[in-house]
């Protein structure tokens, strides 16, 4: 491989949430969605050059920023984005809050597929709306031992929730965090058909769109059909895929002029309208010069996932690792341990000094019996964490 994803980078002492929030220095953090890999060399070089200028005033976003976004999604995902459809902001979570504020009224309901990224819950509630959950159905393949469980939409329940007259927005995670699903074109089209039937707008968080495992293909929601394009607001960023979340750059993409006007207003109301000097520089280096890096990254993550599955199969029989189609966040069924998600996560932290997320972070009911792991780290570090759990007989 051209890039060294096995390099152990010391992150403690850098103001790093993932590492410096650890309760002790002997903890291996496999929790927050943050990779332990250095950014692509082109990104590092672009930031270095910008830093050498020495002046870091207010940032003007130039046309080549928009060109980089448009070119990337056209060539990589066959999605044609128009320049006027792009609104920039400081991150996908702020963008999510902006979208809820712009497209709902307080007291209305926002539908999500549960379990779901924990910030979905807070972004909805912080804007005075109610979270409405349709619980994903775990499909198990006991008769085919090589096939792992995965999750599907309960379409009857999804439609019933959309039919609620107070439901005005469907907040989608595509690819899905934490179950690792990469939704198919057919599934996305069915979601939109039901949403249109009941006048529900779609907001699709596509921050993990480049993190797709071999054999799967990411489908942008807005590129499914013209109907999907017209009924959606897309949130994306290179931050998760290229490990540059701290540079705080994201885009809201919307073809509806009136919705876009409201989104722009909400960006300013929430005061998330200014980027720092390094964000646009990093985005352009990611989208213009780092495509081979992301391709190698996905191959490495797939190797980590296979190593996790093999180790769990041999040494952790009470773990059922779900199918990982996208993201670097395997969802693991630990219900056979007889413990709650929180109890098991606490025990792993206390005994094995490994920090994972309890499934209940992503839905108090739907996430019970699961944990979420972050495997975006050098393989040696992942295996050390798994060995610790095995040795403690957890």
User: Is residue 367 scored above 50 in pLDDT?
Assistant: yes
| DSSP one-letter code for 167 | E
d(CA 230, CA 6) in angstroms, rounded, equals: 43
pLDDT tens sequence across 311-333: 999 999 999 999 999 999 999 99
Distance, in Å, from the CA atom of 357 to the CA atom of 33, rounded to the nearest integer, reads: 10
Judge whether residue 143 has pLDDT over 60.
no
Question: Can you name the residues that pair with 88 across neighbouring β-strands?
Answer: 251
Q: Give me the percent of the chain exceeding a pLDDT of 70.
A: 98
Q: How large a percentage of the chain has pLDDT more than 90?
A: 97
Question: For residue 146, is pLDDT > 60?
Answer: no
Residues 179, 362: Cα–Cα separation, whole Å? 10
Q: What is the pLDDT of residues 24-71, one digit of tens each?
A: 999 999 999 999 999 999 999 999 999 999 999 999 999 999 999 999
Q: Reply yes or no on whether the pLDDT at 142 is more than 60.
A: no
What mean pLDDT, rounded, does the chain reach? 97
pLDDT of residue 141: 65
Instruction: Kindly state the average pLDDT of the residues 159-185.
Output: 98
Q: Averaged over 17-28, what is the pLDDT?
A: 96
Confidence category of residue 144, pLDDT binned at 50, 70, 90: very low
Q: Are strands 167-173 and 201-205 parallel, antiparallel or unpaired?
A: parallel
109-125 per-position pLDDT tens digit = 999 999 999 999 999 99
- Distance CA(168)–CA(34), nearest Å, equals 32
Report the pLDDT averaged over residues 356-366: 97
Contact 188, 156 (CB under 8 A): no
Question: DSSP string of 177-219?
Answer: TTT-----HHHHHHHHHHHHHTT-EEEEE-TTTT-B-TT----
What pTM was estimated for this model as a whole?
A: 0.97
Which ranges in the chain belong to alpha helices (H)? 17-20, 41-53, 63-77, 92-103, 118-126, 155-163, 185-197, 226-230, 257-269, 279-289, 291-315, 341-347, 379-391
Contacts of 22 (CB under 8 A, 6+ apart): 29, 355
Kindly state the average pLDDT of the residues 225-244. 98
Three-state DSSP class for 298?
helix
| Residue 384 reports pLDDT greater than 60 | yes
């Amino acid at each position: 491989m051209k890039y060294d994803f096995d390099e152990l980078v010391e992150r403690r002492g850098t103001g790093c949430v993932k590492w410096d929030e650890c309760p002790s220095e002997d903890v291996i953090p496999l929790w927050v969605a943050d990779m332990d890999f250095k950014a692509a060399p082109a990104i590092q070089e672009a930031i270095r050059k910008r830093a050498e200028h020495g002046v870091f005033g207010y940032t003007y976003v130039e046309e080549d920023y928009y060109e980089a976004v448009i070119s990337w999604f056209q060539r990589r995902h066959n999605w044609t984005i128009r320049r006027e459809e792009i609104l920039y902001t400081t991150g996908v979570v702020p963008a999510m809050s902006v979208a809820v504020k712009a497209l709902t009224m307080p007291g209305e309901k926002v539908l999500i597929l549960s379990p779901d990224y924990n910030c979905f819950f807070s972004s909805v509630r912080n804007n005075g709306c109610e979270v409405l959950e349709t619980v994903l159905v775990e499909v198990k393949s006991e008769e085919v031992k090589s096939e792992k469980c995965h999750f599907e939409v309960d379409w009857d329940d999804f439609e019933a929730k959309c039919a609620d007259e107070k439901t005005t927005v469907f907040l989608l995670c595509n690819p899905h965090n934490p179950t690792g699903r990469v939704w198919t074109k057919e599934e996305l089209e069915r979601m939109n058909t039901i949403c249109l039937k009941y006048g529900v707008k779609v907001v699709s968080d596509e921050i993990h769109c480049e993190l797709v495992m071999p054999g799967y293909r990411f489908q942008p929601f807005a590129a499914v059909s013209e109907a999907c394009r017209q009924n959606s607001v897309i949130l994306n960023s290179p931050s998760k895929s290229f490990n540059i979340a701290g540079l705080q750059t994201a885009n809201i993409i919307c073809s509806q002029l009136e919705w876009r006007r409201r989104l722009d207003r909400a960006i300013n109301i929430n005061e998330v309208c200014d980027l720092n000097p390094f964000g646009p520089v990093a985005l352009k280096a990611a989208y213009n010069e780092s495509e081979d890096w992301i391709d190698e990254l996905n191959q490495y993550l797939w190797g980590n996932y296979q190593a996790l599955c093999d180790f769990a199969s041999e040494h952790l029989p009470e773990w059922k690792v779900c199918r990982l189609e996208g993201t670097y966040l395997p969802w693991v069924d630990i219900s056979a341990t007889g413990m709650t998600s929180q109890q098991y996560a606490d025990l792993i932290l206390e005994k094995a000094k490994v920090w994972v997320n309890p499934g209940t972070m992503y839905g108090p009911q739907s996430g019970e019996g699961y944990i979420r792991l972050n495997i975006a780290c050098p393989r040696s570090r992942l295996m050390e964490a798994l060995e610790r759990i095995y040795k403690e007989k957890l």
